[in-house]
Amino acid sequence: MDTRHALVDTSLGALTVVAADDAVVGLYFPGHWYLPPEESMGRRVDHRDDPLLARTAAQLVEYLAGERTSFDVPTATHGDPFQEQVWAMLREIPFGETTTYGALAERLGNKALAQSVGQAVGHNPISIIVACHRVVGSDGRLTGFAGGLARKRTLLDLEESDASKAARLF
């Protein structure tokens, strides 16, 4: 397996993008809560020299500039069956919308799974592309985000519609 990683300078800091063969398998913030072991990220490359990493970097920059609402790079996750179910649901949350941990747990058939859902969301290996930032607390509050709450707020603000922004009181 050809595993490699690159640092991509963005408005959110230098993001680490990890690719294995022909799929993105990781995207991590500086200070990310749950980093995989460094040796699992493969060799470091310049993203401009790797077609998949270059395409991913370009799409990240476009997204963060408000010029893109979805990603079309191939991805692969390797979690346990429960994590994979949760991560599949994250992929279904539309741009500009949010859901709650409880709502995801209900979709899995048991609202009591909300904490387990939160753990799976927190261990999502492909932040931003698999949009874990779109999951909020039951009262709409921002809760845990492996990249930090300030980055979560930035991502949600980026996706907020003009109409929603205009309706805000603050």
Residue 70 covered by a domain? no
- Global pTM reads 0.90
| Residue with the two structure tokens 């809760």 | 143
Q: What's the chain's Rg over C-alpha atoms? A: 16
pLDDT tens-digit readout, 90-148: 999 999 999 999 999 999 999 999 999 999 999 999 999 999 999 998 878 888 788 88
Is 109 found in the same domain as 158? yes
3-state class of 3 per DSSP?
A: strand
Residues 59 and 117 in one domain: no
| Within a domain: 74 | no
Catalytic residues: 132
